[in-house]
Structure 1
Amino acid sequence: MSQKLVLIDGNSIIFRAFYALPLLNNDKGVYTNAVYGFTTMLMNIIEEEQPTHMLVAFDAGKTTFRHKTYQDYKGGRQKTPPELSEQMPLVRELLDAFQIKYYELDQYEADDIIGTLATEGKKENWNVKVISGDQDLLQLVSENVTVDLTKKGISEVNSYTPESLLDQMELTPEQIIDLKALMGDSSDNIPGVPGVGIKTATKLLKQYQTVEKVYEHIDEISGKKLKENLINHQDDAFLSKELATINCNSPIQVALEDIPFQELDQDKAHAFFTELGFKSLIDKLDVDSSGQAEQQDEIEYTIVEKIEAELFSKQDAILLEMLGENYHQADILGIGLVNQNGKYFIPLELALESADFKAWAEDETIEKYVFDAKGTIVALLHHGIQMRGIVFDLLLSSYLLNPAESHDDIPSIAHRVNLTQVSLDEAVYGKGAKQKVPELTALADHVVRKTNVIFQLKDQFLAELEKNDQYHLYEELELPLALILAEMEFTGIKVNKQTLEDMGNELKEKLAALEEEIYELAGEEFNLNSPKQLGPILFEKLGLPVIKKTKTGYSTAVDVLEKLEDKHEIISKIMMYRQLGKLQSTYIEGLLKVIDKDTSKIHTRFNQALTQTGRLSSIDPNLQNIPIRLEEGRKIRQAFVASEEGWKIFGADYSQIELRVLAHIANDERLIDAFNNDLDIHTQTASDVFHVDASEVTSNMRSSAKAVNFGIVYGMSDYGLSQNLGITRKEAQKFIDRYFESYPNVKEYMEDIVLEAKQTGYVATIMKRRRYLPEINSRNFNVRSFAERTAMNTPIQGSAADIIKQAMIDLHAKLKEENLQARILLQVHDELIIEAPEEEIEKLEEIVPAMMEKTVKLSVPLKVDYAHGDSWYDV
């Protein structure tokens, strides 16, 4: 079998991935875009190349042997953004999981390692593939060595053999070094010869072959300025050639036989993808994640044939077994019951027919232990049973004890605390298309074991919460909130289907009109949704500058169109066409699909145990993500209306709650004074940062100050702020520095909270919600810096999340106390949406802001804005 060696330029590909993909982070706040891009590329390489040997080469540091020749080599390179630096250790973890060797060598670059191994592979007559984003590596191309260069992103590559290199660049591999010698390379700070670009350099090399021969024939060269530059910069040209030459005889301590590649470790890859939230990549693995315990002890239980009151006790663990996450739609497969009397499996039909079961479920005095209070309550409400008396929720308690872990199912939690006598759900049901319900005995055994975990862990988890000073958070905040969220989910929010359909028709008309305008500007009709057809119109017929090319033609991606917006009026119309098209397909049609045909309502689900900051999120559908920047997007909220005749929608939201929390926990006098005097905080910050009077603050200054204010809250770096404001990193850093000069206590808080986290291993919110940061004392600078940034912003975001949760509990109680019909429908970030009879609106205007503003006492006032109308849009 022929040997196939794949060599990857690690730094180059990771940089490409980072800048090609948006700045993504997972639910734990870890930046993942570079790792995700690198992973997808790696998986494609493995599938397409089928390597027998493989290595990823990294640069070892800032200093190389080339610096001895030219100390300004690679000088002027911008500092690596922390959002990227933090991902580098994760890439190495990924390579370990994939069982791929990686290597770096002090004083040498990845190119030198690759060059040396490629040369060895060529000598052995192996088939060698080099993958990079760096054109320098084209000098390695030979009959045995193919070099793939990524294009502007990472999803497409140009593949170079000696023939294709000659065809595309009119040069031989050896001449790539001479090309760099003449034209230089600004990215590596290789000087080259001023005024010599790729065209001139190529022309010279086609005529004279090498730099040396160019200078041998210097008198023949036409063009006074060119000849003058070549003569004056001869030393630079030869220096540049030396710098650009890859050392193919580097003293590496790794040989071809050291880097075999068999196959990736499926289980390790599965664990890695799960940890980082790469759900789409998990499906590509061929992994048996059955999780079946090797040997399970027998468990005694009874399959109930007749329900009697004696079956239950005063303290019962209960589990409704459902397949699928959506308990609004899922069928209950059966019910597990564990108490001091024994362990039981109850068929659903038996439970629903039993008056004893209903009486037990609705008895407030009987304590119930469940896995997910909210899901359990909603599922039974669909069967006309209102469960009461829940005192323990395994999901919520596990989440509070360590929000970084997965809490999706009982077996995962059990295995984490060494209760292994329960199989993972996939082992019992299978997964994906293979999922099916087993026969009754196997089902009953599995359900009872899971229910028994709830019963066993109750005392242990509550004791741990008590020990952490979090019992109050669990008992007074999260558990009561779960009951309110269950009520909200079951109630749902009414959606006027006709309004949505009318909006859809209106959007279709706008799209049709835009289409005609675009065709008129283009001078012909074409398929607007086809980049293959749009590209030639823009870049050939209309002659717009080409920004980016793909394997199939011209790129017409959003970032390309944004750069062309001022070049032709067709661009803004194409961008609007795409935005309206997305609204139509994703939101109008998407929402129409999830309206309950019986209730005419949408019943979203709130994730209460997902984010590490404590914030709620919404799914099926995500009502927190309806786009509101475009008026057409905002108008979608017009379809969300009150469910009864003569009722109104009332909305209330906290104003700048995170900045108020920051002022409180940092105890910064200037911030506190600004809020206490009801000043516009962004104008005040602009005034402080730009050293001008508040009356002189321009809208641009205020916008910049706003970005800095919220950037500080979210731990934004100079890179993040520069991207946000469209300025250089240097300018962004100046903004941040000035901010800290203006608000010194904020800086002090940031430093103190990091120290505290290093001592305790976690940070906490005002209400004692914890986020553990084991990486805070890491020796790896990048890993540590991410944890430090997380330490700074989690108490702010988490405290804001706790406050609105407490407000929901207080308000819910107040509405009942006042005997009002008003009910909370939605929580969207810092906003509450309520529906109420019109005659109760005046009362709501009195009690809602009053309740929300006094939920917690801070050193600055909480401020609530409110409004009402016929729809969500109106508030």
Structure 2
Amino acid sequence: MTEKLLLIDGNSVTFRAFYGLINAVERFKNTEGLHTSAIYGFKLMLDKILADEQPDRVLVAFDAGKKTFRTKKFADYKGQRSKTPSELTEQFPYVRELVAAHGIKTYALPNYEADDILGTMAKEAEAQGMEVVIVTGDRDLVQLVTDKVTVLATVKGVTEIERYTPAEVAAKYGGLNPKQIIDMKALTGDSSDNYPGVTKIGEKTAINLLTEYGSLEGIYAKVDEMKKSKRKENLINEKDIAFMCQDLARIRQDAPLEITLADTVYAGPDEVALRELYQKLDFKSFLGQLKANTVEVEFDKSLAIIDLATLTEALPQAKEVNFYLEMADDNYHTADFWGFAIQIDQQVYVSDDVLKITEAPLKDYLENQQVAVNVFDLKRTLVGLNRLGVKLSGVNFDLLLVSYLLDTSENSNDLGKLAMLHDFYGVKSDEEVYGKGAKRACPEKDLLLPHLATKVQAIGQLKSQLLNKLKANEQEILYEEIERPLAYVLGQMEIAGIKADPFCLKNMQTELASRLAAIEADIYQAAGEEFNLNSPKQLGIILFEKMGLPVIKKTKTGYSTAVDVLEKLQDQAPIIADILEYRQLAKLQSTYIEGLLKVISADGKIHTRYTQTLTATGRLSSVEPNLQNIPARLEEGRRIRQAFVPSHKGWEIFSSDYSQIELRVLAHISGDEHMQAAFKEGQDIHAATAMKIFGLEDASMVTKNLRRQAKAVNFGIVYGISDFGLAKNIGKSRKEAADFIAKYFENYPGVKKYMDESVARAKAEGFVETIFHRRRYLPDINAKNFNLRSFAERTAMNTPIQGSAADIIKVAMINVNKRLRQEGLQAKMLLQVHDELIFEAPKEEIPVLQKIIPEVMDSAVSLEVPLKVESKHGITWFDTKK
């Protein structure tokens, strides 16, 4: 069988890998700040090529330096190239280390380029009857192609390639053979390598000349016979240049190599070396692949069916169990149950019959507060078990929650992927076992049960490691007193659900349909024809071609009709206002009214899910459906809340809302005396800010418009807004907005100091924290890319504020829930909408709630300024907003 030699142009492929991921360079870093994008890309290429080609021998060649015999012949050879970015330069040693760890020889030869090494090795291998494959990002190497030598040239990034054989070379270059590519380059020159070629001769002309005369030598042998022309004149005058370029273009196949083919034998990777390298580079996914291929998970298939007698014997001694409940999809309120696993001491029991959980002794374990239960996703497990009639109690460790607190950017709900982030590689990802999207399905027992077993083992294995990290970060209180108890509270809220009146929603649906039809008719009349209103392309043609409105922005497919574009055109034609209104109402109709009707459960309620581990700031997110984002600006949006009603007659909806909590947190964190004084004195903070930045002496001089602008400045500062962003928000010039921000900081110097210190701290430590030590890591805080760095700086300023506000309302929810139980009230907490808590309660309990809820929320945390809570009640959620 013919041996195959794989030759890789190390320099060109590394460059390709780097520039293929140029937009993500700053996101590819290890914990020490080393850029890793080129290494990552090179690794992807290497995996693909090794798998595709299955070589017997491999060599990766690198340039030894910029000075070679070619630069001696022509000083400007490659002289136009800019300096290699430091972000790339620092990666080359690790690319070589990566190659070496794969068991592959690397080689560089002083005075020669990597191309010359490849050319020489290819010729030697071909002479010995081997098949040769060359991988490069430089098409100059196609000159090496023969019947035995194939060149693979990268197209996009490093994993998409073009394959060159003699036939492909001829097809690509007008019938030329590979050796003629040298002469083509001699005539055309090469802008990449910076040699000139002959003036005014391009690729097409060069191909024609070589087709007629065969070679550069053939051209010059017949040049005198050519018709008089400028081209002939250039050829004659620049003969020396042409032959110099031919010499520069020709890849050497006789370089004085100090290695032989014997050095290129490929024996496979050194897994120990690869593991160490991947750990150093923080290549978690590659490390996971490596471990998944090498680590055998211990699992006794004989335990696939639970032995209840064995469990009964173990019950008195067990003080701790690891438990995992598997469901078919993310919506644990409705998903099918697939199975479960429980680990007691060192023994794992698994089953696909979840009804066994409802029997003793399993139910006793899970409901016994004296037994410490370790899980993955407490809330999901709690709600799932509740559906089975089991009340989960005594949870000690939640792998998902703890992992999220350690790094809010790593929030995968896949236990296998998450375990890998913490260097536990014994669990496959769900995608590997169950499939993805529409193909996701429950596998046969012999695949399902071992997967569940490894999941439950991972929970136990990772517990002490992650809890120790939590302790080192001073995050124990955040977990034990806020996030873990909150998961129980949220689970109870989700189970309770909120009643939705379908008749109210259907009436709104009918009304909106009529409104939309009327607006649609007005739009068609103004346009002079009917068209698909939901097609940006058709709308663009109507507005910018037929009606001749000025084009603001174009996209790849035509004219932009985005909201910000249309808003700039509102004064140009009445049709624009109708289109904007149509879009708003159409979204209300489809997303909210029709969307809510679809998710009303058999009990007449909507059971949203609160994702506790999604946002980087710690804020809760409501999903399926999202009840936090029901529009409030449009009257029609506000009216949707009329459909949310109490679940019992004689009950009401009660709402309590923190007032300006983020600004109060800012006053506390920054220590700014002026801002703190305003809150302590009960002033309107927006009016107080307006007086300061507009130089007003009395609050009576603050108009509604000035207060609105001051409010935009206040909240803009919280979010690290720029003068450009503020100008857009308040309709002022950029200079005026910059003046407002300058005056703001002048009057609130403590805020400016806080902002500067937050950024400085983030640059030094790599993260910022809330008042409860919730961390957010900022890998781009020292990035050279301005946009990435600026975003990270703004995040450093606002995360402690937003995150602390989120923490406070979480504490309030826990304390309110506890107080309701202590008071023996029937009232239930149903929803959390950012800074607002929504309850249902009997009418007779409303006066009690009006007293205790603000009292509990006000005292959730002690700040340098008072917290303020506003409460309302009514027969629908809408009535609490009047």
Which TM-score tier does this pair reach, normalised by the shorter chain? 0.5 to 0.7
Task: Describe the shift of the 1:567–1:340 C-alpha distance in structure 2 as closer, same or farther (beyond 3 A).
Answer: same
Mapping 1:594-743, distance limit 5 Å: 594-596=599-601, 598-693=602-697, 694-743=699-748
Q: Aligned Cα RMSD in Å?
A: 4.1
Q: Alignment partner of 2:294: what SS? A: coil
Is 1:752 the counterpart of 2:757 in the alignment? yes
Q: Deviations over 1:362-400 (max 9, x none)?
A: 222221111111000000111121111111111111111
Is 1:853 the counterpart of 2:858 in the alignment? yes
Which whole-Å CA distance do the structure 1 matches of 2:156 and 2:846 have between them? 58
Shift of 1:781: 5.8
Mapping 1:41-60, distance limit 5 Å: none
TM-score between both structures, scaled by the size of structure 2: 0.66
Mapping 1:252-401, distance limit 5 Å: 292-300=292-300, 302-308=303-309, 309-312=312-315, 313-340=318-345, 342-352=347-357, 354-401=359-406
Is 1:441 the counterpart of 2:442 in the alignment? no
Shift of 1:573: 1.8
Q: Alignment partner of 1:476: what SS? A: helix
Q: Alignment partner of 1:834: what SS? A: strand
Contact residue 414 and residue 453 of structure 1 kept, 8 A: yes
Which whole-Å CA distance do the structure 2 matches of 1:674 and 1:121 have between them? 80
Mapping 1:818-837, distance limit 5 Å: 818-837=823-842
Q: Deviations over 1:196-239 (max 9, x none)?
A: xxxxxxxxxxxxxxxxxxxxxxxxxxxxxxxxxxxxxxxxxxxx
Shift of 1:509: 1.1
Contact residue 504 and residue 643 of structure 2 kept, 8 A: yes
TM-score between both structures, scaled by the size of structure 1: 0.66
Contact residue 688 and residue 742 of structure 1 kept, 8 A: yes
Q: Deviations over 1:15-69 (max 9, x none)?
A: 9x9xxxxxxx9xxxxxxxxx9xxxxxxxxxxxxxxxxxxxxxxxxxxxxxxxxxx
- Name 2:85's counterpart in structure 1: none
- Name 2:157's counterpart in structure 1: 98
Which whole-Å CA distance do the structure 2 matches of 1:256 and 1:495 have between them? 77
- Name 2:224's counterpart in structure 1: none
Q: Alignment partner of 1:369: what SS? A: strand
Q: Alignment partner of 2:308: what SS? A: coil
Which whole-Å CA distance do the structure 2 matches of 1:290 and 1:726 have between them? 56
Q: Alignment partner of 2:361: what SS? A: helix
Task: Describe the shift of the 1:775–1:844 C-alpha distance in structure 2 as closer, same or farther (beyond 3 A).
Answer: same
- Name 1:838's counterpart in structure 2: 843
Residue identity opposite 1:467 in structure 2 = A
The farther-off stretch of 801-810 and 321-330 is 321-330
Task: Describe the shift of the 1:600–1:99 C-alpha distance in structure 2 as closer, same or farther (beyond 3 A).
Answer: same
Task: Describe the shift of the 1:567–1:400 C-alpha distance in structure 2 as closer, same or farther (beyond 3 A).
Answer: same
Contact residue 293 and residue 422 of structure 1 kept, 8 A: no
Contact residue 715 and residue 790 of structure 1 kept, 8 A: yes
Which whole-Å CA distance do the structure 1 matches of 2:784 and 2:552 have between them? 42
Is 1:770 the counterpart of 2:771 in the alignment? no
Is 1:592 the counterpart of 2:593 in the alignment? no
Is 1:583 the counterpart of 2:588 in the alignment? yes
Q: Count matched residues.
A: 635
1:489 aligned to 478, 489, 494, which one?
494
Residue identity opposite 1:310 in structure 2 = E
The farther-off stretch of 383-392 and 512-521 is 512-521
Q: Deviations over 1:600-645 (max 9, x none)?
A: 1111111111212111111111111111111111111111111111
Which whole-Å CA distance do the structure 2 matches of 1:704 and 1:558 have between them? 22
Task: Describe the shift of the 1:719–1:314 C-alpha distance in structure 2 as closer, same or farther (beyond 3 A).
Answer: same
1:432 aligned to 437, 460, 465, which one?
437
Contact residue 609 and residue 624 of structure 2 kept, 8 A: yes
Shift of 1:860: 0.7
Task: Describe the shift of the 1:407–1:656 C-alpha distance in structure 2 as closer, same or farther (beyond 3 A).
Answer: same
Shift of 1:422: 1.8
Residue identity opposite 2:157 in structure 1 = F
Contact residue 306 and residue 350 of structure 1 kept, 8 A: no
Which whole-Å CA distance do the structure 2 matches of 1:567 and 1:402 have between them? 49
Shift of 1:810: 0.6
Task: Describe the shift of the 1:854–1:125 C-alpha distance in structure 2 as closer, same or farther (beyond 3 A).
Answer: farther
Q: Deviations over 1:680-708 (max 9, x none)?
A: 11111111111112322233322222122
Shift of 1:585: 1.3
Q: Alignment partner of 1:679: what SS? A: coil
Shift of 1:775: 4.2
Mapping 1:550-565, distance limit 5 Å: 555-565=560-570
Q: Alignment partner of 2:710: what SS? A: helix
Unaligned runs of 5+ in 2: 1-14, 28-36, 38-89, 91-153, 161-181, 193-199, 206-247, 252-277
Shift of 1:255: 10
Q: Deviations over 1:496-541 (max 9, x none)?
A: 1111111000101111222333344445555444456545654566
Contact residue 305 and residue 350 of structure 1 kept, 8 A: no
Shift of 1:763: 2.1
Is 1:505 the counterpart of 2:564 in the alignment? no
Task: Describe the shift of the 1:787–1:509 C-alpha distance in structure 2 as closer, same or farther (beyond 3 A).
Answer: closer
Contact residue 538 and residue 544 of structure 1 kept, 8 A: yes
Which whole-Å CA distance do the structure 2 matches of 1:777 and 1:539 have between them? 43
Shift of 1:418: 1.9
Task: Describe the shift of the 1:423–1:555 C-alpha distance in structure 2 as closer, same or farther (beyond 3 A).
Answer: closer
- Name 1:60's counterpart in structure 2: none
- Name 1:872's counterpart in structure 2: 877
Which whole-Å CA distance do the structure 2 matches of 1:412 and 1:256 have between them? 49
Shift of 1:661: 0.3
- Name 2:407's counterpart in structure 1: 402
Contact residue 290 and residue 424 of structure 1 kept, 8 A: no
Mapping 1:801-816, distance limit 5 Å: 801-816=806-821
Contact residue 289 and residue 426 of structure 1 kept, 8 A: no
Contact residue 291 and residue 425 of structure 2 kept, 8 A: no
Contact residue 125 and residue 144 of structure 1 kept, 8 A: no
- Name 1:452's counterpart in structure 2: 457
Task: Describe the shift of the 1:431–1:516 C-alpha distance in structure 2 as closer, same or farther (beyond 3 A).
Answer: closer
- Name 1:470's counterpart in structure 2: 475
Is 1:799 the counterpart of 2:804 in the alignment? yes
Residue identity opposite 2:748 in structure 1 = Y
Shift of 1:582: 1.4
Residue identity opposite 1:381 in structure 2 = N
Contact residue 657 and residue 835 of structure 2 kept, 8 A: yes
State percent identity of aligned pairs.
53
Is 1:572 the counterpart of 2:577 in the alignment? yes
Residue identity opposite 1:821 in structure 2 = Q
Shift of 1:771: 2.0
Task: Describe the shift of the 1:392–1:555 C-alpha distance in structure 2 as closer, same or farther (beyond 3 A).
Answer: closer
Task: Describe the shift of the 1:418–1:635 C-alpha distance in structure 2 as closer, same or farther (beyond 3 A).
Answer: same
Residue identity opposite 1:624 in structure 2 = Q
Shift of 1:256: 13
- Name 1:788's counterpart in structure 2: 793
Contact residue 628 and residue 833 of structure 2 kept, 8 A: yes
Q: Alignment partner of 2:323: what SS? A: strand
